[in-house]
Structure 1
Amino acid sequence: LQPGWRGLEGKDPFGLERRIQNEGEWMALVKPGQNGLYSVVASLAWWGMSVDRNSKAWEEWMMAMRDIIWVLECVTRRS
């Protein structure tokens, strides 16, 4: 589910690039079913339930949450 244009050399803490893409590039992420974005959201929920809110792991989880929210906003704007 990671599009090639996001790379791993961006400016955010995960090394992912955040730039607005055209519709075709976002629509590649519209994957229904258990192997699509639903799995990403479910995994983030489980991760969030397992970490201590006063830990570095919580900060990392929050960064991941902000990233998936950004992705979902971009996808829904384009669909």
Structure 2
Amino acid sequence: MTGPEKKTDEARQGVTGTGTRYVFAISTVAAVVALFAIAFVFFGAPDMGLDDAQSGADATPPYEMPEETPDWQEPAPVQNPASPSAP
């Protein structure tokens, strides 16, 4: 099959050399930066838990120990509603 033959540049249907890849890369980076800036304005800086970090033996537990309570406690007095409590 013989027919007209074209060179590669002539057969291409697009125009080359316009820097499309650079425009795409720069606009993608700009969009990501804009989204992070908008999120920062609305939600503030991210809290990554750095304030709660523990370091070695100086660390305190994340909870407080309860105060000492006795093993037994006196039961609450029970009042019988049927018996009058007249003095």
Q: Which structure has the greater CA radius of gyration?
A: 2
Q: Which has the higher contact order (CA 8 A, sep 6+)?
A: 1
Q: Give the structure with the higher percent helix.
A: 1
Question: Normalization by structure 2: what TM-score?
Answer: 0.28
